[in-house]
Structure 1
């Protein structure tokens, strides 16, 4: 019986010691100050938002990250602040073992640049509006004409198709949206205009255009045309 009681007491003492050490360590760790802050950009995009801007959001406008204690950090709040930035799609904020406040940042992906009167902005891959950057200019199609809530979804799908296709991304430099909903495009290397028509059968139209281009570029006939018409099924109509 005495042996049983002694064993129980030892277990309780060990358990209490573990709790004490854990609490002491946690308290001491939470009172430690950050050693630094670091921003890591992921993805292929150039830095539309710079490291200085992200760092400023991370340390909540404090001049020196080493003045911030871990205990006073709200990582969820910091992530929300970063994700609210117009250039940032998603972020992950955490503190490393060595006390460095880190932010892994994925920027938005611009797929078109719209000129709306005196205003200009990007449309990102999700179809949201994205401001221009002072740090970098994206090489995406320049868009003019009737861009509004009614046609934005279809146009975003059109811009995605161009962005995801290496040939189209390289060659289509301009998109004009007409008042009747039809679309005209400009090619980088040739002077003709592409009459795309409406935003129906978009992939089929682009496939027809690529097949035509690969054939016509071999005999240099692309220089002769003023209009490449893709509005018709199973054919490409050219006007000299």
Structure 2
């Protein structure tokens, strides 16, 4: 009986070993076949997909760039197409945020490019203009596409060399932060049409309605400052009219400083914001 069990057991192990060898041999043959097919297979076509809300670059721009450097891709063997080098070249375009090149089993080469998104257009004091993208990088303007973003000019001493670059000055960092805040709020995005930097390096808001000089200062406490601006429009303007004040200063903590226009008297008018008012009431 012992000999019979041992005999059966040995045959079973042998059967498993044979099956394993057959599977391994089949896998090697299959991989060899796939490798041979891939090395000999030609590119069946090129598909370019441009992602993003902007139109700085188009499909034809990407196709022209690839053909100019790598020649005609369709018909070439897949192994001769340097997809990683292509990705690196596409990322060098200042309007491109990311680039991925893939080839499927049918030989179709797909290029996916995601564009950078502009937040604000800056014109420095020398007249050189550039955009700042969502990641806070300076990028060039385009001759064929103008995104709908705020423009800021004035006393801005930020250099730009025409390529993708990082922000140097705190002022432009504050401009970027302010522009982001405005673009994220539908009301302020509609009301604020432009930014300006005065001689004191204060950021000013240019409103769509009214001609007041709205002095924001820097980008600190933006929520508080825009709450005070909202108070100006909802509590002061209904009582005095939109043209009663020539300037609204939001720089100072706890108050709005409104300077009346020469057509109105008396002179300066100061109102505490709601937060400061509540604190005063609680201490009484």
Shorter-chain TM range is: 0.7 to 0.9
Of structures 1 and 2, the one scoring higher in RCO (CA 8 A, sep 6+) is 1
Is 1:108 aligned to 2:123, yes or no? no
1:147 and 1:177 in contact (8 A); partners too: no
Is 1:196 aligned to 2:206, yes or no? no
- Three-state SS of the structure 1 residue aligned to 2:42 is coil
Matches within 5 A, 1:65-214: 65-116=73-124, 117-144=126-153, 145-148=155-158, 149-151=168-170, 152-214=172-234
2:42 and 2:74 in contact (8 A); partners too: yes
Q: Which has the larger radius of gyration?
A: 2
Q: Which residue of 2 aligns with 1:35?
A: 44
Aligned length, in residue pairs: 239
- Three-state SS of the structure 1 residue aligned to 2:74 is helix
Shift of 1:217: 6.6
Q: Which residue of 2 aligns with 1:19?
A: 28
Gaps of 5+ in 2: 1-6, 159-167, 262-284
1:175 and 1:183 in contact (8 A); partners too: yes
2:210 and 2:242 in contact (8 A); partners too: yes
Gaps of 5+ in 1: none
* Distance (Å, rounded) in 2 between the aligned partners of 1:170 and 1:30: 56
TM-score scaled by length of structure 2: 0.73
Q: Which residue of 2 aligns with 1:231?
A: 251
Indicate the larger mover: 206-215 or 108-117: 206-215
Q: Would the alpha carbon gap of residues 118 and 147 (structure 1) be closer, same or farther in structure 2, given more than 3 Å must change?
A: closer
2:45 and 2:74 in contact (8 A); partners too: yes
- Three-state SS of the structure 1 residue aligned to 2:220 is coil
TM-score scaled by length of structure 1: 0.85
Shift of 1:60: 5.9
Shift of 1:108: 1.0
Aligned-pair RMSD on alpha carbons?
A: 2.7
Shift of 1:130: 0.9
